[in-house]
Amino acid sequence: MLETHTPYGDVLSMTGGIKNGFPVLRERTIAAPSWVVPDTLAANCRFLAGRVDEVGLLFFETKACLAYTRQDLPPDLAGLPLAWHVHLPLDLPWHDPEETARVCLALMDKVAFLGARRAVLHPPQPCRMSQEAAGGNSGGRAEFSGSAEAGKACAGGMCSDTVAAGEESAAAFAARSGRALEIFARLWRGTGRDTRDCLLENVRGADLTDVWPVIEAQDYGVCLDTGHVLSYGQHGLLGMPGLRERLRMVHLNAPGVVNQGGASSSAGQASQAGPAGAASQAGQDDRGSKAVAGTGKHLPLTALSDGWFEAVAAMLRLADPEAVLMMELFDWAGVAASIPVAEQMLCPRHGDET
């Protein structure tokens, strides 16, 4: 584990702003997800008020989150000292980009009373699902999905009933993805929203490099997930032209792998598990914030080896000071423990220019 200059216990005991005592982070916007304690979305937001600057609303499941009512999103949330953004669903039907846009815009309208305008969006992802995982409907075809959840045939993906395994090249998939993102951008702008506030995230199977010309042409923003870069070897994204100008948010986490026994280990430290309680993706409130099952874990920054510490620090320093630093960790202990590590990453090193 990395040593930090603030004791782990002291950070966890903070009842005020989590940035207290961290001069560099005090000047940055720190966000946390709407699932850090085992309670409802609203209770999580109230817990986070005064502790962080911004909350990322985890709208991971389309059906459940569209069904949210004033009970789930009570009006008093607007009075909390927080800024807001939305993490749009993981099960979007990218084979129908107009429907995908309709769903996302409806969810943005649902939290308009909070003043939320930024949103994190997973792009279309290629995924080969087995017939069993697809509920027996795939017939061995190559399908395209934003979700690997068993039993959901091509949920959230670019599923094609006519494309047989191996018949569509990566270039052809990138072209289809690009067209879907163009349609989405047009509909997003059609409601008066700015595509710079729609932040495409690098995810498994979609590192954004193949659709970078579309990102530039449609003026999308970018959300850089540090754990995904390391887990999936997505370092090519870091060299894309104009990345710094588009980078509006960084998802900070240490990557991990779930082995067959269910145990986790951090990238670069195969035998070392993250702190107790670290969740693999997100927890679940009473309905909509359940994560899609996957193979990656989001571990606290304390789980980074020295080598991965430097890699994440370099990514963090790519971000403009105005970018939101989202501790994408799904328990409060992990969020709090990661704060001093992020401070270390941003502090000028001995001999560096200040």
For residue 214, how far is the Cα from the chain centroid? 20
Task: Please report the pLDDT score of residue 257 as a whole number.
Answer: 59
Task: Please report the pLDDT score of residue 160 as a whole number.
Answer: 39
Phi, psi of 296 (to 5 degrees): -95, 150
Task: Please report the pLDDT score of residue 18 as a whole number.
Answer: 77
The Cα 340–Cα 5 span in angstroms is 7
Q: What is the pLDDT along the chain (354 residues), one digit of tens a residue?
A: 443 333 333 444 444 577 778 889 999 999 999 999 999 999 999 999 999 999 999 999 999 999 999 999 999 999 999 999 999 999 999 999 999 999 999 999 999 999 999 999 999 998 632 222 344 333 322 333 333 332 233 444 554 333 334 556 889 999 999 999 999 999 999 999 999 999 999 999 999 999 999 999 999 999 999 999 999 999 999 999 999 999 999 999 999 753 333 333 444 433 222 222 222 223 333 334 333 333 468 999 999 998 999 999 999 999 999 999 999 999 999 999 999 999 999 997 634 544
pTM of the predicted protein model: 0.80
Structure tokens at 159: 């599923």
Task: Please report the pLDDT score of residue 196 as a whole number.
Answer: 98
- Strands 254-258 and 247-252 come out as unpaired
Residue from 169, 229, 185, 224 nearest 204 by CA: 229
Task: Please report the pLDDT score of residue 17 as a whole number.
Answer: 73
Helix 306-318 to helix 332-346 angle (10° resolution) is 80
Structure tokens at 8: 């782990």
Hey, what CATH class is 8-346 in? Answer: alpha beta
Structure tokens at 272: 């070392």
